[in-house]
Structures are given as structure tokens and as C-alpha cells.
Amino acid sequence: MNFISRVAFLQQAYRRRCNRGIEYSQRALSLDPNFALCVYRTGDCQILLGDCWGAGDFSEGNFLRGQQSASRALELDDALAEAHGTLGHVSMHLFDWPRAEKELRRALELNPNYAQACLWQAYYLAFTGQFEDSIASINCALQLDPLRWPVEYERRRAALLCRPIR
């Protein structure tokens, strides 16, 4: 199996998991449509379907559906750090940098131990040219959740983003 085949295989598996997550969330929401955590999770899966490192379905529709779900979750529970983090994440994909900063900051105010929000904040900081702060944020995520494989992987990717171009 060559590299391209492996990537395609992994993306198919990732896509199946995201779609299954959406399906399970929708089942739960049929029982309780105001379950904010489940509404946020649906949005998170929708965004991950469009994320370039995930399933690779780059249509803007995934991001807009994810944004709507995260916004709905915040209507139900404005203190849900995960929904603020997801809204910050999708705002980066939609190039709404002020909103991304605001939502990621709010997620970390609500839950300073939210490693995924630290990770997304690291990307925000790298994309906006704040490289030293980006590295600090990724190291924070690694300290909060050292056994989570994406954090170490993402730390290495962020380091590539932050290195000087010669």
C-alpha cells in the first residue's frame, strides 16, 4: 500500500467515524433537542468532516452546518467551553479571525484545562503570525493532555508553521 492509498484509507475511516458521531448525536437529540453538549458535538463532527487534516471534504457547507450547531449549543448553554472552542475552530476555517480569537479566549476562560482549545488557539496564533505564543499554547495543550496523540502530532506541525522561512 503506497502513501496515497494509506491517506485515503485513513480519511475514509475518519469520515465514517464523524458520520457515525453525527448519527448518534442526532439520535440523542431526537430524545432531548435541548441537550447542548450533544448539539455542540454534532457541530464538531460536521466541522471535522471539512477539516483539511481530517476527512478532507472541503465544502464550505460542512463548516457552516458546524457553525450553526455550535451557535445553537451556545444558545442553550453559553457556559459550554467546548461549544466556544468549536466556534473558534470553525471561525478560522471561515477566515473570521476576530471571532476565532474571541471564542477561543472564551473557551479557555470557561475551562483553562481544555487541551483542544489550547491546540486550536495555537493554530490561531500561528496563522496570525504570533509564533512564540503559538508554541507556548501548544506546549500548554501537551502539558494538559500529554497522552493524547493529536497534541504531540499537532505540536510538531505547529513547529513547522512557526519556523522561519529562509
SS3 sequence of the chain:
CCHHHHHHHHHHHHHHHHHHHHHHHHHHHHHCCCCHHHHHHHHHHHHHHHCCCCCCCCCHHHHHHHHHHHHHHHHHCCCCHHHHHHHHHHHHHCCCHHHHHHHHHHHHHHCCCCHHHHHHHHHHHHHCCCHHHHHHHHHHHHHHCCCCHHHHHHHHHHHHHHCCCC
Cα–Cα separations (whole angstroms), residue 163 to 80, 126, 130, 139, 150 = 34, 10, 11, 16, 20
Q: How confident is the model at residue 79 (pLDDT cuts 50, 70, 90)?
A: very high
Q: Cell numbers for 101, please give them.
A: 480569537
- On the question of pLDDT at 81 being above 90, the answer is yes
Give Cα 166 to chain centroid, integer Å. Answer: 30
Mean pLDDT computed over 2-26: 74
CA distance 19 to 6: 20
To the nearest whole percent, how much of the chain has pLDDT over 70?
77
CATH 1.25.40.10 domain locations along the chain: 1-111
pLDDT tens for 104-137 read: 999 999 999 999 999 899 989 989 999 889 889 9
CATH number of 1-111: 1.25.40.10
Mean pLDDT of the chain: 84
Give Cα 157 to chain centroid, integer Å. Answer: 15
Is pTM beyond 0.95? Reply is: no
Bigger pLDDT: 68 or 164?
A: 68
